[in-house]
Amino acid sequence: MVNPDTMRTIVGIIGNVISFGLFASPIPTFIQIVKKKTVGEFKPDPYLATVLNCMMWVLYGLPFVRPDSLLVITINGGGLVIELIYVTIFFVYADSLKRKKIALWLLFEVIFMAIIAAITMLLFHGTKNRSLFVGLLCVVFNVIMYASPLTVMRQVIRTKSVKYMPFTLSLANFANGIVWSIYALIKFDPYILIPNGLGSLSGAVQLILYATYYKSTPKDEEDKKPPEVQLSGM
């Protein structure tokens, strides 16, 4: 019989691969930005939000907060680097107003994370209490981030068109939620299970909507716009 720790590691590695694909999904958007040398109507909000989310999960995965969570650190550490590259490109090609917004948000996020890290280390003692505090914050941030797909799903229902909801991205979100939910169940971790359970549900609904409205979408509209928003890896 396979050792639970070995199984958890294998599932976690699969989760890392799928999550990396999600982090890489906006690459077409940024290729378009670099080619046009302008950010156009694209907004930095989802990338700035994902930067903060990744930093929270990296903190959660540290040994003094949640032991045996190396794979949580690897994917969110890698995701953080990718998102910072996106933000940097956005900053370079944005106008002065958007640059100011990006700079202020990054400053806020760094200060916020410093405060959270200080509170975690100084006010909470032991990994159980620290993982409870940081884990709850991670759950809250992830749930908030799922508001973006809800907006897209509402648009799909209203327009009866899936042009702004790429199938591959929806499938990847579903698979990502399933894999990380299994990871969380092998060695029970409610803080990983809750957001990824919701992610699985969100992905399933997106796939159902895609199957429902695919035929009613004009062929010239499919995949017309590159994916601008991806969920966090966790």
Q: What is the 3-state secondary structure (H, E, C) of the chain?
A: CCCHHHHHHHHHHHHHHHHHHHHHCCHHHHHHHHHHCCCCCCCCHHHHHHHHHHHHHHHHHCCCCCCCCHHHHHHHHHHHHHHHHHHHHHHHHCCHHHHHHHHHHHHHHHHHHHHHHHHHHHHCCCHHHHHHHHHHHHHHHHHHHCHHHHHHHHHHHHHCCCCCCCHHHHHHHHHHHHHHHHHHHHCCCHHHHHHHHHHHHHHHHHHHHHHHHCCCCCHHHCCCCCCCCCCCCC
Q: How far apart are CA 104 and CA 186, in angstroms?
A: 40
Q: What pLDDT score does 234 carry? A: 64
Q: How far apart are CA 162 and CA 211, in angstroms?
A: 9
| Token pair 């799909």: residue | 156
- Residues of the chain with pLDDT > 70, as a percent, come to 92
Q: What angle do CA 212, 215, 216 make, to 5 degrees?
A: 90
Q: What pLDDT score does 230 carry? A: 53
pLDDT tens digits for 68-121? 999 999 999 999 999 999 999 999 999 999 999 999 999 999 999 999 999 999
Q: What pLDDT score does 231 carry? A: 53
Q: How far apart are CA 177 and CA 198, in angstroms?
A: 8
Q: What pLDDT score does 29 carry? A: 85
| Token pair 């299970």: residue | 193
Q: What pLDDT score does 189 carry? A: 95
pLDDT tens digits for 131-158? 999 999 999 988 877 766 777 788 888 8
pLDDT tens digits for 50-71? 999 999 999 999 999 999 999 9
Q: For residue 214, what pLDDT band results from cuts at 50, 70 and 90?
A: confident
